[in-house]
Structure 1
Amino acid sequence: MDKFTTLTAIAAPLNIDNIDTDKIIPARFLKTIKRTGLGKSVFADMRYNADGSDKADFVLNQEPYRKAQILVAGDNFGCGSSREHAPWALLDFGIRCIIAPSFADIFFNNSFKNGILPIALPEDICAKLREDAAMGGNARLTVDLERQMVVRPNGEEIPFQVDPFRKHCLLGGLDDIGLTLEHAAAIDSYESKIPAWTPKIQGA
């Protein structure tokens, strides 16, 4: 998992409440267990016409938002089913941070596990950030995880809260496997002390 430290990037304004996981990645794209290749299908029903052409009025089909790495969304983002493909698809598109007034719990947890930082801020602040984002590519937002600050283009700093353990994981680029490997020396030490007569799993 890639580390998340400080991100200065184009932010896309998506002022829609209750965007569920089926809108993020429709069920027909859930045939894969790979984490890559889903970015082209993120928000598919909102991005594309029936013939596969782009919907010109959808924000991620517009410049400069095709290269957005931050999404400033509406309330209750990621509601609906618990599909982990939703953060996979957003990450594969390039989104590393989502700012919204609130998130569905399962999506919120899955985002951290996949290297995406979800930030919950009051609606009035989100509205200001969406206005900043609407200014285009020259008005980039900065998200400083170490300092827990979102920095607006005008220099205003907005503090945000994040669980210390999740912050540690993102700063270190640690998924569940990475967290386990942090204890590799202790695991090796333990295994070296297991008696030779201990039953082993065949093939281990």
Structure 2
Amino acid sequence: MVTDDLNHLYAMTNFGHHDSNQDGVYDITSNRVAMYRINLITKAGNFIVASDRTVLAFQDASGCIASRDKGDAPESYGEVGHRNRDVRLQGIPDLIMGTAWDPDLYPFYTADATGDDVTGSDDEDGVTLPTDMLVGASNDIDVVVTGGSGHINIFMDLDNNGTFMNNPGEHVVQDFPVTAGSQYNSCFLTNRDQQWA
């Protein structure tokens, strides 16, 4: 068992079947070791990840880890994340994007940036992009914030090179102030061919 520095306990099973999407049906039925996260204040628990092992063949361990929500974009974009805080010890975070709290043990890098969506809770409900992002026009991005107030920054890989580091124009929203609730942020995308010519 391991705890994070807030209020979660992480426990591993020694084989068993698992309901990974919490719909009441075992969808992992091949006797796998798995990890679960339990909120010690709200008592809510959820499946995190299954191993390819069927039995724990190592010694018990204990410790404390930092509670962080990590990214799931391809690794070329770098590791991102933010610390979770629960100063009032209510079992809910003080400030997050979206409404679901899903601390991660490590980044779930995937080519389509869905690794965190399918591991633990799907907490990817903080930002809604328009169906089409138009260059040379204003684009409304819906942002949902739970908790207090803060600032967001939005990056877009406009030249599709797998990084944000070489083109400053890909930092499309800088330090936009947000408060609890839903708000729209207007994002104007410049023509990248003119900007980086």
* TM-score category of the 2 structures, normalised to the smaller one: under 0.3
**Greater strand percent: which structure?**
2
**Could you say which structure has the greater relative contact order, defined with CA pairs below 8 angstroms and 6 or more residues apart?**
1
**Greater helix percent: which structure?**
1
> Normalising by structure 1, what TM-score?
0.23
> Normalising by structure 2, what TM-score?
0.24
